[in-house]
């Protein structure tokens, strides 16, 4: 099988856990599973899985609290499972160290896409920075500081360029508004989401064919932004 990664599924709802297990096993992943936080911690320590799928509503402990504890000693990529409409929980989990999230009810393709992106992101972090990012027709050359769309050079401001490279480095992964503001303007800036939105609108005008229907930088409503992985250099596409 192509995907030899081991994934720990932490979900107390047996039906959903079974569904996730079936999907992941079908895609060739090795799965481990549990329905509570206590055994999740011990399985994480003893089995060292490559990724964890974590339901935030567990019977014995708050998922957010569990996530904080995990992040104090482990860098395992975590994809959070949350219920629809709980944007605040998603944002909290992402800012608390989760890599991504899926919303119940979720589709098979969406689940696999989130997992692939989180696993790849972990690999990228281990390999270090790339100098050229190719995402569909978008090319960002960080050595020469050149951004091209379909071969045509696009001029971005310093801030716009920082936003685009940040998203490229995390392609496929959602970034919260706050985490982007921290990265782009610095941890002590008093910049707000409105300024981020204004910059995003300008970027989209420059790089998207139709800024109202973005193909590269996707909006995650109430959460943040995600760089799509359209026909990226590694030959995999995981855009829904």
Three-class SS of 46-108: HHCCCEEEEECECCCCEHHHHHHHHHCCCCCCEEEEEECCCHHHHHHHHHCCCCEEEEECCCH
Choose between 104 and 182: whose C-beta lies nearer to Ca ion.
104
Cβ of residue 160: shortest distance to Ca ion, in angstroms? 40
The region of 11-19, 34-42, 118-126, 132-140 touching Ca ion under the rule CB under 5 A is 11-19
Rounded to whole angstroms, the Cα distance separating 60 from 28 reads 30
- Supply the minimum distance, in Å, between the C-beta of residue 112 and Ca ion: 21
For residue 54 the two structure tokens come to: 């974590």
Give the three-class secondary structure for 168.
helix
Contact 140, 132 (CB under 8 A): yes
Using CB atoms, what's the residue nearest to Ca ion? Answer: 57
* 208 lies in the site for Ca ion, by CB under 5 A: no
Of the candidates 200, 196, 214, the residue with the CA atom closest to the CA atom of residue 138: 214
Could you say which residues in the range 133-152 bind Ca ion, by CB under 5 A?
none
Identify which of residues 12 and 178 has a Cβ nearer to Ca ion in the complex: 12
CB of 20 to Ca ion, least distance (A): 12
- Smallest gap, in angstroms, from Cβ of residue 59 to Ca ion? 8
Q: Distance (Å, rounded) from C-alpha 167 to C-alpha 171?
A: 6
Q: Nearer to Ca ion by C-beta: 45 or 83?
A: 83
Residues 50-109 contacting Ca ion, CB under 5 A: 55, 57
Query: What is the C-alpha to C-alpha distance for residues 139 and 14, in angstroms, rounded to an integer?
Result: 44
12 lines the binding site for Ca ion (CB under 5 A): yes
Task: Using the minimum distance from each CB to Ca ion, give the nearer residue, 21 or 173.
Answer: 21
Number of residues that bind Ca ion (CB under 5 A): 3
String marking each residue 160-199 x if it binds Ca ion according to CB under 5 A: ----------------------------------------
Shortest separation between residue 61's beta carbon and Ca ion, angstroms = 11
* Identity of the residue, 70 or 119, whose beta carbon is nearer to Ca ion in the bound complex: 70
Closest separation in Å from C-beta 51 to Ca ion: 19
The nearer residue to Ca ion, 57 or 231, going by C-beta atoms, is: 57
Rounded Cα distance between 157 and 18, Å, is 48
Residues 6+ apart with CB under 8 A from 163: 180, 184, 196, 199, 200, 203
Distance CA 112, CA 236 (A): 12
**Cis before 115? omega within 30:** no
Q: How far is the CB of 101 from Ca ion (least distance, A)?
A: 14
Residues near Ca ion (CB under 5 A) are 12, 55, 57
């Amino acid at each position: 099988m192509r995907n030899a990664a081991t994934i720990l599924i932490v979900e107390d709802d047996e039906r959903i856990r079974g569904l996730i297990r079936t999907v992941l096993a079908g895609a060739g992943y090795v799965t481990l599973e549990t329905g509570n936080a206590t055994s999740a911690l011990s399985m994480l320590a003893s089995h060292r899985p490559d990724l964890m799928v974590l339901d935030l509503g567990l019977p014995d402990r708050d998922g957010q609290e569990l996530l904080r504890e995990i992040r104090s000693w482990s860098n395992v990529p975590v994809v959070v499972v949350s219920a629809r409409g709980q944007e605040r929980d998603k944002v909290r989990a992402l800012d608390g160290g989760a890599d991504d999230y899926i919303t119940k009810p979720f589709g098979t393709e969406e689940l696999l896409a989130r997992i692939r992106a989180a696993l790849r992101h972990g690999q990228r972090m281990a390999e270090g920075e790339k100098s050229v990012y190719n995402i569909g027709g978008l090319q960002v050359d960080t050595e020469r500081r050149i951004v091209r769309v379909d071969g045509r050079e696009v001029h971005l401001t310093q801030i716009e360029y920082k936003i685009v490279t940040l998203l490229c480095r995390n392609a496929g992964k959602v970034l919260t508004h706050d985490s982007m503001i921290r990265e782009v303007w610095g941890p002590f800036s008093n910049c707000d989401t409105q300024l981020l939105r204004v910059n995003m609108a300008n970027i989209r005008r420059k790089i998207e064919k139709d800024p109202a229907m973005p193909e590269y930088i996707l909006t995650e409503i109430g959460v943040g932004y995600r760089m799509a992985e359209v026909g990226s250099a590694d030959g995999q596409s995981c855009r829904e």
